[in-house]
Amino acid sequence: MARIEKFKNIHKGDRCFIMGTGPSLNITNLNLICDEILFGVNIFYKTGIPCKYYGVSDGRVWKVHGDAITRLSSFLFLSGYAAMYYAANPDLNYTFHRKPYVLPELPTYEFGKVLFAKDIKDGTYNGQTIIYDVCLQVAYYMGFSKVYLVGVDADYSGWHHFDESPVENLSGGAAGNWTKVLKAHRLAKQIYEEDGREILNATIGGKLEIYKRVRLEDIV
């Protein structure tokens, strides 16, 4: 808790960019935001673009890519099955740049229900997408007033990732069930706006229409 608590409101009033891994990254001018505060997730490290913060919640992603992700200079947050896999395998020969911050998955007790953790010291809630499981709840705790989503395509009808690889975990949106994912995004939008903050979608294309659309070229 003490390690997590130091992040409370450290970016109050700032903006950040949460980087998904959708194919739209291939047509996005990422050079526009290299100097911004970035949250990377899952296989975003393959772009070579450094991120201040990084999140993984899927155990399969962590099992395959954990070794590479631990070498990043980012502040790394783990939740869900990724956190469980990390905790259960302390002897893995990973070269940690810095020790990860573990966010236990908080129980909802009801299938399909979505909750939002404003205080992440005890953990975060699952929304079947790393964008929610870690990034949006951590960004809220850090005090960001504007959060921009980039490469969050919310569309698995073609390529799943910018590098043409499939997703490791075929559940939720990847399996065609977007119910809980979209509930999570709607709740995040509500929570942010109730507090005078905003989440905006700077993804090129994709199917996530819950947030207001913006162009990177217009905001940087």
| Predicted local confidence at residue 93, as pLDDT | 59
Return the minimum-mean-pLDDT range out of 78-87, 174-183, 186-195, 197-206.
174-183
Question: Among 30-44, 95-109, 168-182, 205-219, which stretch is predicted with the lowest mean pLDDT?
Answer: 168-182
Confidence tier at 110 by pLDDT (50, 70, 90): confident
With beta carbons less than 8 A apart as the criterion, state whether 86 and 66 touch: yes
- CB 13, CB 196: distance < 8 Å: no
Mean pLDDT on 169-181:
68
| Rounded mean pLDDT, 95-117 | 85
Residue 205: phi and psi, rounded to 5, are 75, -145
Task: Supply angle C-alpha 183, 184, 188, rounded to 5.
Answer: 120
What are the residues facing 55 on neighbouring strands? 41, 77
Q: Would residue 62 be called left, alpha or beta, if left means φ above 0 and alpha means ψ between -120 and 50 degrees? A: alpha
The residue-averaged pLDDT of 28-48 equals 97
As a whole number, mean pLDDT of residues 163-179 equals 68
Q: Quick check: 108 pLDDT over 90?
A: no
pLDDT, the chain, mean: 91
Q: Tabulate helix, strand, coil % of the chain (nearest 5).
A: 35, 15, 50
Q: Nearest to residue 206, comparing CAs of 156, 171, 168, 154?
A: 154
What are the strands of the beta sheet with 212-213, ordered from one edge?
Answer: 101-103, 75-79, 53-56, 38-41, 15-19, 146-150, 198-201, 212-213
20 CB-contact burial (10 Å; exposed 0-12 / middle 13-18 / buried 19+): buried
What is the C-alpha separation between 64 and 72, in angstroms, rounded? Answer: 15
Lowest mean pLDDT among 102-111, 122-131, 186-195: 102-111
Q: Which two tokens stand for residue 24?
A: 């739209």
pLDDT bin (cut points 50, 70, 90) of residue 27 is very high
Query: Model confidence at 171, in pLDDT bands (50, 70, 90)?
Result: low
Q: What is the phi-psi region of residue 165: left when phi exceeds 0, alpha when psi lies from -120 to 50, beta otherwise?
A: beta
Once rounded to an integer, what is the mean pLDDT over residues 108-115?
Answer: 81
- Per the CB < 8 A criterion, the answer to whether 20 and 152 are in contact is yes
Q: Alpha-carbon distance 11 to 103, whole Å? A: 19
pLDDT score, position 41: 97
